[in-house]
Copies of this chain bind each other. A is one copy, B any other.
Amino acid sequence: MEAKLLRQQVMNDSRRALVLDAARSVFERLGIEGASIREIAKQAGYTPGAIYSYFENKEAIYGALLAESLERLNAAVDAAVHAAGAAGLSPDELLEATARAWFGFYAANPRDLDLGFYLVQGMRPRGLTTELNFQLNDRLHDALRPCEEALQAMGLSPDDALRENTALFAHGVGLLLLQHTGRIRMFGQDATALFKNYVDALLWRLRPAQH
Contacts and interface: CB of A to CB of B under 8 A. Distances in A.
Interface in A145-182: 162-163, 165-167, 169-175, 177-178, 180-182
Contacts of A178: 166, 169-170, 173
Contact of A167 (B30, B121, B198): B198
For the complex of A and B, the 4 pairs showing the least CB-CB separation, nearest first, are: A174-B174, A170-B174, A173-B174, A166-B187
Nearest to A110: B121
Contacts of A181: 117, 120-121
Among A124, A175, A180, A183, which residue has the most Cβ atoms of chain B within 10 A? Answer: A183
A163 B187 CA distance: 8
| Chain A interface, >50% SS class | helix
Interface residues of A, number: 44
B33 A177 contact: no
Interface of A: 30-34, 114, 117, 120-122, 124, 137, 140-141, 162-163, 165-167, 169-175, 177-178, 180-184, 186-189, 191, 194, 197-198, 201, 205, 211
